[in-house]
Chain A
Amino acid sequence: MRSESAEQTDRAPGGLVERLVRDDVDRKRFLKLAGSAGAASFGAFVLAACGSSKKAASTAATTAGTATGAGSGSGDVAIANYALTLEYLETEFYEKVEASGFFKGATASLIKGFGSQEQTHVEALKGAVTKLGGTPAEKPAGRFPIENATQVAELAYTVENLGAAAYLGQAAKIQNPELLAAALAIHTVEARHAATLGTLVKKSITPDGAFAKPADMSTVLAAVKPFLA
């Protein structure tokens, strides 16, 4: 896994490291992103990359637990790829849940619907990354504990709340208005999923109260790390 990720970073055409070395504007923008994100692991990755050492960058990237294309590219591309990675994981998770057969009737229909919606998010974000001139992150291999209906529903509730917080954490950092509009449109759907699952597991629909809390990239990536195979 580690070497694969390192290879991916190294062989990416017009990859991050090369671009950062070549392009001063890109580097400054990226540093700004890292600074504003206040993200320890992501920041370490970026800073290492800015030291123009491929090896350091790759190592830091893998240590960060991303082990995927999450955050690859800069600025909006990095944000869209990060979201894409999360959506890939959500889609895969729902596929596994659906396959488990734990849910019947109306609940099964809801779960199936949510899975399809995550898939449309994947497609939209892949399109967005390409449109922004980036390379869409590859689909990560997921690993999800699927034990019983209650555990799965609670995990889904956690995952959707995290997803909503992840989008909220990026919204103000997005530069491109179209990407912002798309992210907002997805953000509230993740929130709808989370609330629906909240009713299913008898947990709060609004666990943060009246104001939803954002989550930064490093927090989210650390939280999803156990779900990466």
Chain B
Amino acid sequence: MSQMDIHTGAPDSELARIEVDGMTRSSFLLKGALAAGALYGAGAVTPFVSQAFAAGAGGDVEILNFALTLEYLEADFYNVKGKTVGLKGQAKSYAKTFGEEEADHVGALTTTIKQLGGKPVAKPMFVFPATSEKSFLALASVLENAGVGAYNGAAPSLQSKEVLAAAGGIVQIEARHAAAINLLIGQSPTPNQGFDRPLTQAQVLAKAGPLIKK
């Protein structure tokens, strides 16, 4: 249960709600951390992010905004990058379907964050180091599997049961994508065997952070 340690700081909701240019404090810290990750490498960011989330004490909106950032990333990856690397056959078909589904997740998370009275984070700029179908699929595997770990890691910290159920409906799709992509590139569809490993936000950032330009 170490993935939840970063959320065990005392609730600091007042502090977390302070707005910095229209963002909550935690979102601001997260965005800064993501940018720092791109600049200095994920390793440098990890302690900073843990602190950010400890200070913000999570909260459903913060978690959902983190998820939204990942979904933005995945949607752009399939829908924008996917059109530039010459995908064919099954890879092309997956990119189309999965891209549509990730875009649906972006829409659902945006709506949910607003319903909770929060402000959805803006879509960052991404840079994807993929130049071929092969490197694209390899990155797809990393992102989808990280997505599964991210949701599974964050879900137990969600306060709202409705939000938890919605997150469950999304993570199941990420897992299906991850399995299909892994199969396509000759890797195990169940890389964690019987139990998918939850990831902390810091662990997710180690994988996704370098892809975020600003």
Contacts and interface: CB of A to CB of B under 8 A. Distances in A.
Main secondary structure of the interface of B (DSSP, over half): helix
A184 B155 contact: yes
Contacts of A184: 151-152, 155-156, 168, 171, 196, 198
A209 B102 CA distance: 10
Chain B: number of interface residues, binned into ranges: 35 or more
Given A120-B194, A185-B196, A191-B179, A212 B165 contact: no
Interface residues of A, number: 43
Contacts of A117: 190, 193-194
Nearest to A185: B195
Interface in B94-110: 97, 100-102, 104-105, 108
Interface in A195-223: 195-196, 198-199, 205-206, 208-214
A120, A185, A188 — which one has the most chain B CB atoms within 10 A of its CB?
A188
Contacts of B188: 113
A2 to B, nearest CB: 34
Contacts of B193: 117, 120, 189
B195 A193 contact: no
B120 interface: no
A182 B3 CA distance: 13
B187 to A, nearest CB: 12
Given A177-B4, A195-B180, A206-B176, A188 B171 contact: yes
Interface of B: 1, 3-4, 97, 100-102, 104-105, 108, 148, 151-152, 155-156, 161-162, 164-166, 168-180, 183, 188-190, 192-198
